[in-house]
Amino acid sequence: MQRKFVGNRRKAPSRELTERILSCAREVHLGLGPGLLETTYEEALAHEFSLKGIQFVRQKEVNLSYKGKNIGWHRIDFLVEDEVVVELKSVEKLHGIHEAQLVSFLRSLNKKAGVLINFNVARFTDGVESFAI
């Protein structure tokens, strides 16, 4: 798992919660394997969170503003325990734009920790990046 830090480099907040999230995602990846649609992994991960008693909001709307003007809404895949933003992908390879999207969501929600998970990989750890801002 790679850790990315934006801003001041420091210990990632919510480490225990992040590990619980990754444990659930690892279980989903083990059960389903790569190659499915993102929505399939999202549904399975929501079920896994419920089984493990982890509180989450799925498809949370995020209001984006520019210089005080509301410019639209975006949705994040999960906000877990009102603390960690989780974005899912099922793509050949994660790119910088995926990371930038997650960081933008963290800033919009004023959250400090995020996890980006790509399920379309043979080894689960190859598709995971965590962020702290």
Residue ranges per domain, the chain? 2-132
Question: What is the structure's pLDDT at 13?
Answer: 53
Identify each DSSP E strand in 1-133 by its residue range: 2-5, 56-66, 69-80, 84-89, 113-118, 128-132
Gap between the Cα atoms of 4 and 73, Å rounded: 26
Q: What is the pTM of this model?
A: 0.86
- 102: tokens are 């997650």
Would you give per-residue pLDDT tens digits along the chain (133 residues)?
A: 444 444 433 445 578 999 999 999 999 999 999 999 999 999 999 999 999 999 999 999 988 888 889 888 999 999 999 999 999 999 999 999 999 999 989 988 889 999 999 999 999 999 999 888 8
Question: What is the structure's pLDDT at 9?
Answer: 39
